[in-house]
Structure 1
Amino acid sequence: MSLDDRAEELASDLGVDKAEVKSDLENLVSYSVPIDEAVQSLRRKYGDGGGGGGSAPSEKDIGDVTTDDSSVSLTARVLTVGKRSIQTQGEQQDIFEGELADETGTLSYTAWTDFGLSAGDTVQVGNAGVREWDGEPELNLGESTSLSFLDDELDVPYEVGGGATLHELQSGDRGVTVEVAVEEVERRTIDGREGETDILSGVLGDESGRLPFTAWEPHEAIENGDPVRIENAYVREYRGVPEVNVSEYSTVTPLDRDIEVGEDATQVSIAEAIAAGGMYDVELVGDVLAVRDGSGLIERCPECNRIVQNGQCRSHGDVEGEDDLRVKAILDDGTATVTVVLDRELTEDVYDGTLDDAKEQARDAMDKEVVAEDIRRNIVGFEYRVRGHFSVDDYGANCDATSFERTDDDPADRARALLEEVTA
């Protein structure tokens, strides 16, 4: 049934003007509210319970809210409030988003109306819509939602205000505050909503680690590389890892102190990195089990840098490929496996030769595969310490290595230590 038919049926049931109902229905759907949920929301708005006698949804604890709920009422503490602009149906829309909490858990929210929320507020929310976002429930606070501020402060076991270290941030966080050093920064011109626009991108660091960032409007303090306090940032996944996003509503303030950036990457197991869905600048230790096909001497498209096979690029068709070196190694640490990707520089190290050496060897043998075979002999069966950026996609777990070093550990010593741990 089309939206117009649903509006006509709903207007007839409720005895109200179809044009008004249709406008409300289109508005809710434009905010990604499912059509059935939007219909029920309008039934409540115009005084019909949709077969339920007009009763309001019962109040729930946050820990009990699921994606099966169509609407809920609850009492909660506001942990964070972020503001940003999105584009919907060709128009810009300001939204407010963050996290709510009670003693049973936390829940993200998006408010399509400015309710005047501030971090630390205790609020009573009525008739809030629920939608699924990244597999989890999220509250939608819209025109049909009632919200009141309570004088009594709700005590919750969570930090109010959004302050976090970079290591604590996860994709989906909104309204966060970080104090960081700008490790790398560059200004780029992209095709934005209103034509060409300048943005800043690079890497931020603090004592807990590093994360990439994008500032959608250049801030002088960031571009100058100053230590900064960034408020009202949000985090989204980019190329499989969390990325800090600084919007036009973010506040950037220079700090009068230096930020010590940790030199060491966070060491995790491969299973932990997979469970996190992606991590930036991590360290893994494991054994190389194999070198995958597509390693060694390869060709790349001069236009997009993708791998060229048989003179064909997936995006640009027939091309004359440019020679390059790459390794895709399978690393196993006993918890899981990951494909570690080495760039030309790291591949030259494990090959013990340059790109020109590899081309000469392949010409002499009339077979590119000899380069990959030499690499296999050099690294398979040995333990390596790998530092890089970990991502998980439909094809599995990958780590783009920034360093790849064989460990000095004696395999016999590691085996004895493991046996002692097991028998202890």
Structure 2
Amino acid sequence: MDVDKHAEELASTLGVDKQEAKEDLESLLQYSVPLEEAKQSVRRKHSDGDGSETDAQPESLPLDEITTGLNNVTVTVRVLTVGTRRIQYQGDEQTIREGRLGDDTGTISYTAWQDFGFEAGDSLVVGNAGVREWEGEPELNLGASTSVAMADEPVDTDATVGGDSDLIDLSPGDRGRNIEVTVEEIERRTIDGRNGETKILSGVLADDTARLPFTDWDPHDAIETGGSCRIEDVYIREYRGSPSINVSEFSTVTPLSESIEATDSAPTLSLGEAIDSGGLFDVEVVANVLEVRDGSGLIERCPECGRVIQNDQCRSHGAVDGEDDLRIKAILDDGTETVTAIIGTELTEGIYGDGIKAAKEAARDAMDKEAVADAIREELVGDSYRVRGSLSIDEYGANLTVEAFEPADDDPAARATAVLAGVRQ
């Protein structure tokens, strides 16, 4: 018998310390009290606070008054979204339901550890729900001791009922969402998953509001490059600072007869706004090139992993015969923030004005690889550019992986005035 597992369940549901729940449970089990009876005794003890056999009256609260310090709450709510997902819990696979609930004071996320049978739009009275912290916010925890019943009347809420969403409105942590999209890119890969080799799809989805990366963990045939489809029950994670759509075995994918129009533009933001967002998959900025950093120009990459190598040494694969490449690492500044722009081979060739072969010849003639980087510096530094790409932020700073790079065509004086106005606000 896995006492730890049952103690964890009780602690999560009741909002008590796991060790305390375990000690209470073990003190009953050592006298051969049946497991379910022992668990119920622990629930009764922590439900009324004095150890008596009577159940306490659960606390009834509006959602905006729920905090992580509370427990055993009762709420009357409208189900906004319902998602289904399989997770690993204490070494075992567990299917959970999750989403958001709402009332006339606000919304809250929930996780249900069993299927209570409710759907989006239902009005419920949820009793004896635990409260835990999830991503810095309170979340309702619906476990074995939770009661769920239909409310007598529909619950009013200002929140949208149902999971239909535009891509621009998706955020990490969203669950049970439905989207209608065009599939722009697909890559089929085999990864080393928790159950061995696993085939997945990854790529880019788009609608008329945004473009976002996706991963399909249970590849659906209806997701095809260039096709449009409706995908129900997706969940959103953060990937390199931006939302990433996850399609699972519980998602349903339906081809659409009419194509979904995909945006061909990205939001144009100041660097400060973009960095404050925490990361964006597709963004456009206008900024000056302050510096072309070391590691730009003619470089060598490991043929195994593609990492940049120095002195024929790869950090992962040791001594290798490097493959020549061109890239630029440029510092961009617009007066609000700075970012490192990573510019790949094709765009670098356009900026340099020639390809890898010519760059190698120039380096050989100058007897210095830096000759290529110096030529790029002379071309870029001090000028203003319109740059589009994917912004990621980590402990080392902000990086913009560039997809488009061209001279800015706006008035520098007008842009400086706009930046200063934003700073003064």
TM-score range for the pair, normalised by the shorter chain length: 0.7 to 0.9
Paired position in structure 2 for 1:10: 24
Counterpart residue identity of residue 304, structure 2? E
CA distance in 2, matches of 1:196, 1:212: 22
SS at match of 1:326: strand
Q: Deviations over 1:132-151 (max 9, x none)?
A: 33333322211122222213
Which residue type is aligned with residue 10 of structure 1?
D
Contact 1:385 1:407 in 2 (8 A): yes
1:43–1:49 CA contact under 8 A, matched in 2 = no
Residue matched to 2:389: 388
- 2:249 maps to what in 1? 248
Change (3 A) 1:136 1:422: closer
Q: 1:106 and 1:8, CA in 2 relative to 1: closer, same or farther beyond 3 A? A: closer
Alignment root-mean-square deviation, CA: 3.1
Aligned residue in 1 for 2:402:
401
Q: Is the 8 A contact 1:57 1:71 kept in 2?
A: yes
Counterparts of 1:1-400 in structure 2, within 5 Å, are 9-11=23-25, 16-18=28-30, 43-46=42-45, 49-50=48-49, 55=56, 58-69=59-70, 72-223=73-224, 225-400=226-401
SS at 1:163's partner residue?
coil
Distance (Å, rounded) in 2 between the aligned partners of 1:216 and 1:245: 7
Aligned twin of 1:34: none
Amino acid at match of 2:150: F
Contact 2:184 2:225 in 1 (8 A): no
Residues 179-230 of structure 1, C-alpha deviations (whole Å, 9 max, x = no match)? 1111222333333444334322222111112112222222222136431111
Q: Which runs of 5+ in 2 are unaligned?
A: 8-18
Deviation at 1:246, TM superposition (A): 1.3
* 2:99–2:110 Cα contact (<8 Å) kept: yes
- In the aligned structure 1, how far is the partner of 2:187 from the partner of 2:419? 47
- Asked whether the equivalents of residues 56 and 127 of structure 1 are also in contact (C-alpha less than 8 Å), the reply is no
Distance 2:33 2:298 in 1: 63
Question: Relative to 1, partners in 2 of residues 1:315 and 1:153: Cα closer, same or farther, differing over 3 Å?
Answer: same
The answer for unaligned runs of 5 or more in structure 1 is 25-38
Amino acid at match of 1:331: L
Counterpart of 2:15 in structure 1 is none
**Percent sequence identity over aligned pairs:** 57
TM-score normalised per structure 2: 0.85
The 3 A distance-change label for structure 1 pair 18 and 283 is farther
Contact 2:166 2:207 in 1 (8 A): yes
Quote the Cα distance in structure 2 between the aligned partners of 1:48 and 1:134: 26
Contact 1:190/1:196 (8 A) holds in 2: yes
The change in CA–CA distance for 1:49 and 1:22 in structure 2 (over 3 A counts) is farther
Contact 1:44 1:50 in 2 (8 A): no
**Deviation of residue 18 (structure 1)?**
4.8
DSSP-derived class of the 1:266 partner: coil
**Distance in 2 (alpha carbons) for counterparts of 1:286 and 1:224:** 34
Q: Tell me if the contact between 2:59 and 2:72 (Cα under 8 Å) persists in the aligned partners.
A: no
> Deviation per CA, 1:239-268, whole angstroms, max 9, x where unpaired?
332221111111111112121111111222
SS state of the match for residue 126, structure 1?
strand
Q: 1:72 to 1:160 in 2, by over 3 A?
A: same
1:256 to 1:316, Cα distance in 2 relative to 1, 3 A: same
Give the counterpart letter for 1:384 in structure 2. Y
TM-score, structure 1 length as denominator? 0.85
Offset at residue 401 of structure 1 (A): 0.8
381-390 or 101-110: which moved more?
A: 101-110
Q: The residue matched to 2:372 in structure 1 has which SS?
A: helix
Deviation at 1:71, TM superposition (A): 5.2
Structure 1 position 301, deviation (Å) = 1.7
